[in-house]
Amino acid sequence: MPDFPSNPKPEYPIEEVPAVPEVLVSKHRDGSEQRRLKGAGEGPTFKLPFGQSCPITKTQRDAILNHFAGQHGTLTAFNWTHPERTAETILVRYVDAPSFRLVGYNAYQGQVNLKQVPA
């Protein structure tokens, strides 16, 4: 299984949205509710900014875009190592296509959104 490119490194802040359990809510005529856990819900998501303080190069941007294409977009999962949890490899997939903008000659800024998937 391929790994997410290690160069460039994402910048801070890395936005992490925790998993939200899926809950079934049944409302009764008297106004009360009954709640049941349907499942663990979707895994946490990670929003990774690139090139905010120091823009990344076209080569670095292309490495991310080529990795996205190699995963057939949002189809397949891959390994990603969180910058602070280097001993932990997380199985993720792309939420959507990476977005980049040209901010100068050979200088790009962008964002990649990843979602943790069950192993």
Q: Determine the pLDDT at residue 97.
A: 95
Place of tokens 């997380």: 90
Please tell me the distance from the alpha carbon of residue 93 to that of residue 102, in angstroms, as a whole number: 25
Give the containing element (helix H, strand E) for 20: none
Q: Determine the pLDDT at residue 1.
A: 65
Please tell me the distance from the alpha carbon of residue 87 to that of residue 90, in angstroms, as a whole number: 10
pLDDT along the chain (119 residues), means of 10: 84 88 89 86 90 93 94 92 83 95 94 90
Question: Where do the DSSP E strands lie in 40-87?
Answer: 45-50, 78-81
- Using CA atoms of 52, 99, 117, 83 in order, give the dihedral in degrees to the nearest 10: -20
Residues 103, 81: contact at Cβ < 8 Å? no
